[in-house]
Amino acid sequence: MTGSFGSFVAGAARAGRLVVQPRMGFSDPYRMRHGLERTKFAAACTVGTLTLDSYTRLGDHAAVRDALAAGVPLNGYPLVDLPVERTRALLHGIADDTFPVQVRHGSSRPEHIVRAAAAVGLDATEGGPVSYCLPYGRTPLRESVARWARGCELLAELAPPPRRPHLETFGGCLLGQLCPPGLLVAISLLEALFFVQHGIRSVSLSYAQQTDSAQDERAVRALRRLAGEFLPADVDWHTVVYTYMGVFPGTPRGARLLLEDSARLAVRAGAERLIVKTVAEAQRIPTVEENVRALERAAVAALLSDGATGPADPDSDVYAEARTFIEVTLGHSADVGRALLTAFRRGHLDVPFCLHPDNAGRSRSTVDAAGRLRWVATGAMPVRPDAPPDRLMSSAALLRALRAVADRFDHRPLETTR
Amino acid sequence: MLTPAQDPAPGLTVLVAGGASDSHTWNLVYLELYLTEAGHRVVNAGPCVTGDLLVTACRRHRPDLVVVSSVNGHGHRDGLAVITALRAHPQLAAVPAVIGGKLGVAGPLDPDAVARLRAAGYTEVYQDGDATALLALLDRLAARPARIEEHVP
């Protein structure tokens, strides 16, 4: 049985170590075991990951079984359709108090994954009723909310005390890029509140690195302050930064610089954990070795960075905007799930460029000349646009914005790279 | 769709859809902006569009062109399934349809795979998304005199 994910991260934070974690999933159990072993023994403070395949995410178990029977490799570890004993053997001697393993999946219908994880002794996973629904697929938001409520309750039930099951919000990532940080922070916080309301007492709140490091720092600090303000005192929580989730630099050097920037962001803003990307990210699914190099590089960048400075978590534009979204949403209902449904139905929360039918689709964002994310249009949301409407995106401008970070890091001059 | 319905533009109605197993949407957002700028009306069916969904959307919106965009490497398989469903429907047997994006897991599809997609009913197969060619095709379709007749039940 694995140790508590939350207490491991808390212990590392007390020791001044940033926890680093890969995204890693292979259908071949030998390769998966190798990946976990190499992660565990990397020169870094690490936790492990089982990333599941996309058929399992969609609940298409017939497709998983066909692929397994035919020996066709999948794009992740098919936890649900493999025998329990196989996965227990895979984790034996690896997942323990010094190395908790988290299940990452992306499903809007997580119950079967929670059951399968619990059956092999794993009690840490991630997602959320909004973040695993709106950006992907076609599950109605109402159904995702109901299923995530059940998923949380199942996880709490199947890993009873003294175990402390852990859930991480994916709400800090919505569509990966071009969402202004106030909304990312608000959704991440609201999803954490949702988890707590459904029986989870150890959570982490995510934020994905965006286009501007100062804006990102304000965002992570806002997330930390809001977590302190809104989560019950007996809930264990930490924050996790994702290395950039949008179009990744195509050159190894650009990819390394972006990864190092994310590690420094995490340390500077006081986040306890970082999920890394690799130099292969722009091309294909990374190998185990590429993942290990990314973990070690991020750990070194974190160790050599200056650490958090200035007042703990000050007022900022991002804090104010996120707080507005949160207050308006929670004003709709004491039940966070219901509050989220009302907020999206009325367009009080409106994810830019999100095509899901349950998203209002009236908000628009852009990257301004200084590289910061801004609102061009806010629809019915309780915040004002902070960029002129003439910056409404053309298709060419959208491509430029989607590639802005990749281009900047691919072409960054040597002297500014430290 | 990103934007509320607007007054009919002079261009054609284009239905844009992602592959059945593909949750990517930036490609669909881009196509919507690109085709709208060129004066066409875009119905964005979003990601993960199955054959049934595509048939329903086509019967409802009666597009002049269907664009299937797939970037997760399953475009070949997903694309065959939806075009087969479309062509099996009597009212949709002739609606022009194209597919584009990253259609295979290992770079461009081989010529046989492209031929299979065409044989199944795609008018064009755009490897790695040739958006300029798409506009040229729309111009040719707009120039056809009897382009709406095939949608009359």
The residue extents of the domains of chain A are: 5-304, 317-405
- Does A140 touch chain B if contact means CB atoms closer than 8 Å? no
pLDDT at B153: 41
Total residue length of chain A: 418
Q: What was the ipTM of the complex prediction?
A: 0.86
Distance (Å, rounded) from C-alpha A16 to C-alpha A351? 35
Q: A5 is written with which tokens?
A: 């994910």
Torsion sign, CA atoms B55, B61, B63, B68: negative
Look up the pTM and report it: 0.92
CB contact under 8 A, A398 and B29: yes
* Beta carbons within 10 angstroms of residue A163's beta carbon: 17
Cα-based angle A142, A147, A149 (whole degrees, multiple of 5): 100
- Does B115 touch chain A if contact means CB atoms closer than 8 Å? no
Query: Which residues are registered as beta bridge partners of A50?
Result: A103
Cβ(A246)–Cβ(A405) below 8 Å:
yes
CA-based nearest distance A240→chain B, Å: 24
Distance (Å, rounded) from C-alpha B63 to C-alpha B71? 22
The closest CB to that of A137, out of B23, B26, B33, belongs to B23
pLDDT per residue, tens digit, chain B (153 aa), is 565 444 455 699 999 999 888 888 999 999 999 999 999 999 999 999 999 999 999 999 999 999 999 887 778 888 999 999 999 999 999 999 999 988 776 677 888 989 999 999 999 999 866 788 899 999 999 987 654 444 444
Ramachandran region, residue A138 (left: φ > 0; alpha: ψ -120 to 50; beta: rest): alpha
Q: Does domain A5-304 have CATH number 3.20.20.240?
A: yes
Residue A276, Cβ density class (10 Å: 0-12 exposed, 13-18 middle, ≥19 buried)? buried
pLDDT in tens, B102-121: 877 667 788 898 999 999 99
Using alpha carbons, list the distances in angstroms from residue A184 to A97, A180, A388, A416.
31, 7, 21, 29
pLDDT at B5: 45
- Does B135 touch chain A if contact means CB atoms closer than 8 Å? no
Distance (Å, rounded) from C-alpha A374 to C-alpha A179? 8
Q: What residues of chain B lie within 8 A of the CB of A354, using their CB?
A: 25
pLDDT at A311: 65
pLDDT at A417: 47
Q: Walk along chain A (418 residues) in steps of 10 and give the mean pLDDT of each run.
A: 83 96 93 97 98 89 90 90 96 96 95 97 98 91 98 98 97 95 98 98 98 97 97 98 95 96 96 96 86 98 83 86 98 98 98 96 93 96 90 85 94 65
